[in-house]
Structure 1
Amino acid sequence: MSSISIVGLGNVARTLAGRALAGGNAVEIIGRDPGRTKDVAAALGGATAGTAGAAPTGDIVILAVPYASAAAVVREYGDALRGKIIIDVTNPVTPDLKGFVTPDGSSGAQEIAKAAPAGAHVVKAFNTVFSHVLAADAAGTRPLDVFIAGDDAQAKEQVSAFVTSLGLRPLDTGDLPMARALENVGLLELGLMTQLKHADFSLGITILG
């Protein structure tokens, strides 16, 4: 199984940490508030509490923070992320949920990759699954689909293995520029949430035949 460091203490961080532990992965929780970090790790049972700013212990580092601070977090860790796989779970949308805050032609994942040190590999994943849906795992008889994108094939293989350990189905969409498409899917889901007045759904692929 995988060794995972999760930066963040919110719903996404706690949900991914819980599923990761259930899947037999080693999990480190990292937050800026040491007391709260220890409380979250203890509540999860089996997770360790990391120290903000110290080198993450996991081979895979999940950025479970708002997009606005994601690149800054990566720059803060700097060379400590060299050789790591960085999973970007963010949706870099505007406050009105109608567009993106990223430069035209780019994506949140690509902007985060620009901030990462040489030798780190950014993979987009989990941005198309709401955290409460992931926690409930209410997709019926089939696993929830997790779309991924990244430039390094080996990194995507490791992320795919991690996703599988969570009882989910990884679907490789291509190189990192495909993160733009995945972030558009995230925006589509937010639009559907607004129209449906709820977010109890997930998008996935049905293979016919």
Structure 2
Amino acid sequence: MSTVTVIGAGTMGAAIAWRVIAGGNEAQVLTRRPVATAIPGAKHGAVGDPITGEIVVLALPYSAYDEVLAQYEGQLDGKVLVDLSNPVDAETFDGLVVPAGSSAAAVLAEAVPGASVLKAFNTTFGATLTTGEVGDQKTAVLIAGDDADAKAALAAVVEAGGLRAVDAGSLKRAHELEALGFLQITLAATEKTSWTGGFGLTS
């Protein structure tokens, strides 16, 4: 059994925690404010509480990373640290705020060199994580990272929760995953697709 700490309980965080629990694993959910509705089966706490999970999912906007990382300085070493952000420029909504050719995951890996950083969940919407389907396809979680054991650990949790895990390559591929996530958000925001749909992956 794995324990996954999810920091953040918005649409994405709640959906991921629910999938973790559905797969028979344990979920610790940490938030800056008490949640209005508890996630059944999860252990709730506040950001700043000790992290119990060996896998830590940052279910937060990219702009909130620095504050949370500062609170957990030195405590994320040895953890599998999952970045699901799409670092969209909130002012223009027409680009990403990370350096050209880089990614939020690469920036995170530099900030927390003692953790095994993975990019995952950013190409899915919370709704498709909840339903487990994109059209007639099972929701696929694309996972990029340089640590094979870390990717296998996250993939096992994802698949136990009823979703499809797909190895998307090294952490360098986070650059392409974030571009894909940005495109999907843009299409949904302009009503070319819906927030309950998105990109599906066929075999």
| TM-score normalised to structure 1 length | 0.89
1:148 equivalent in alignment to 2:143: yes
Q: Would you say the 8 A contact 1:24–1:165 is kept in 2?
A: yes
Identity, % of aligned pairs? 39
Paired residue secondary structure (1:123): strand
Paired residue secondary structure (1:12): helix
Greater share of strand residues, 1 or 2?
A: 2
* Alpha-carbon shift at residue 74 of structure 1 (Å): 2.2
Aligned pair in 2 of structure 1 residues 110, 140: CA closer, same or farther (>3 Å)? same
Q: Would you say the 8 A contact 1:109–1:122 is kept in 2?
A: yes
Q: Would you say the 8 A contact 1:8–1:30 is kept in 2?
A: yes
1:28 equivalent in alignment to 2:28: yes
Q: Would you say the 8 A contact 2:134–2:199 is kept in 1?
A: no
Q: Would you say the 8 A contact 1:61–1:84 is kept in 2?
A: yes
CA displacement 1:14-34 (0-9 Å, x = unmatched) = 11111211111101111122x
Paired residue secondary structure (1:173): strand
Gapped runs of 5+ residues in structure 1?
none
* Alpha-carbon shift at residue 195 of structure 1 (Å): 4.3
| TM-score normalised to structure 2 length | 0.91
Q: Which residue of 1 aligns with 2:18?
A: 18
Gapped runs of 5+ residues in structure 2?
none
Aligned pair in 2 of structure 1 residues 93, 30: CA closer, same or farther (>3 Å)? same
* Alpha-carbon shift at residue 205 of structure 1 (Å): 2.5
Q: Which sits farther off after the overlay, 142-151 or 193-202?
A: 193-202
Equivalent position amino acid for 2:145 in 1: G
Aligned mate of 2:88, from 90, 93, 96: 93
| Pairing of 1:174-189 with structure 2 (within 5 A) | 174-189=169-184
Q: Would you say the 8 A contact 1:71–1:111 is kept in 2?
A: no
Task: Provide the aligned C-alpha RMSD in A.
Answer: 1.7
| Pairing of 1:30-49 with structure 2 (within 5 A) | 30-33=30-33, 36-37=34-35, 40=37, 43-49=38-44
- Which whole-Å CA distance do the structure 1 matches of 2:53 and 2:9 have between them? 16
- Which whole-Å CA distance do the structure 2 matches of 1:70 and 1:57 have between them? 19
Equivalent position amino acid for 2:112 in 1: A
Aligned pair in 2 of structure 1 residues 85, 44: CA closer, same or farther (>3 Å)? same
Q: Which residue of 2 aligns with 1:126?
A: 121
Q: Would you say the 8 A contact 2:12–2:126 is kept in 1?
A: yes
Paired residue secondary structure (1:127): coil
Greater share of helix residues, 1 or 2?
A: 1
**Count of aligned residue pairs for this structure pair:** 201
